[in-house]
Amino acid sequence: MVQGEEKYAVNTTWVVRTNILPDRSVRIRVPESVPLGPANITLVITSEQKSTHEPGGTAAELAHSPVFGLWADRTDITDSTAYARELRTQAERRHRDQA
């Protein structure tokens, strides 16, 4: 890198619908705006199988569910938003470590 030159990252998110080919490959054509050269690509493969899980419902239904206010009596949780964020972070970290 040349002195005074800044390095920056360009992050772009796409949703691509494709078929996995018999040789287990996928070909992706990127827009002209994507710079040439090395790139890090994160691939998440999801199945299009129908879920048997019913959606959680509306916000009003959630507000009347037994899980609403679940942590209300916990004296060890002073900031429920931060606590929930930390639980999600821990779960994501466990998921990454298992992968």
The model's pTM: 0.34
Whole-number Cα distances in Å, 79 to 2, 37, 64, 74, 86: 46, 44, 22, 10, 11
Q: What is the pLDDT of residues 47-76, one digit of tens each?
A: 665 555 566 678 887 777 777 777 778 788
Q: Which residues of 16-34 are buried (b: 16+ CB within 10 A; e: fewer)?
A: eeeeeeeeeeeeeeeeeee
Confidence band of 8 (pLDDT split at 50, 70, 90):
low
Which residues 6+ apart lie within 8 Å of 62 measured at CB?
56, 68
Is the pLDDT reported for residue 46 higher than 60? yes
Q: What is the mean pLDDT of residues 30-40?
A: 81
pLDDT at 35: 82
Mean pLDDT, the chain, whole residue set: 75
Give me the residue spans of the domains in the chain: 59-98
Tell me which of 74 and 15 has the higher pLDDT.
Answer: 74
Q: Are 52 and 58 in contact (CB under 8 A)?
A: no
